[in-house]
Amino acid sequence: HDGKTLASGGNDNKLCLWDASTSSTAVPRYELLDHQAAVKALAWSPHERNLLASGGGTADRCIKFWNTQTGSLLNSIDTESQVCSLQWNPFEKEILSSHGYARNHLCL
């Protein structure tokens, strides 16, 4: 991450990107509406500036990758189960995801 952007996700299915320097402002820089369920997980890439991964709940099941500088969706992967947590490998360009319903597993 660039240290200038704060990311938040919630049960309203929204991923919001905020300017950290003006975080008291009530309006996010970007309000991203691509998830079809609650945004359950967020993880900043340690390898690429402005790369954020987000994970959706049971009705969404997707890991989405975002360019936080532009607010653009780079890729979306249907995991076939709720995404509960995301963690980037600090040494390799790979991400670990943990899942709830329906598969209850870990994926690398």
Coil vs helix vs strand at 22: helix
Per-residue pLDDT of the chain (108 residues; tens, 9 = 90+): 668 899 999 999 999 999 988 756 678 999 999 999 999 999 999 999 999 999 999 999 999 999 999 999 999 999 999 999 999 999 999 999 999 988 889 998
Separation CA 65–CA 25 (nearest Å): 25
Separation CA 57–CA 72 (nearest Å): 20
Separation CA 86–CA 91 (nearest Å): 15
Separation CA 82–CA 78 (nearest Å): 10
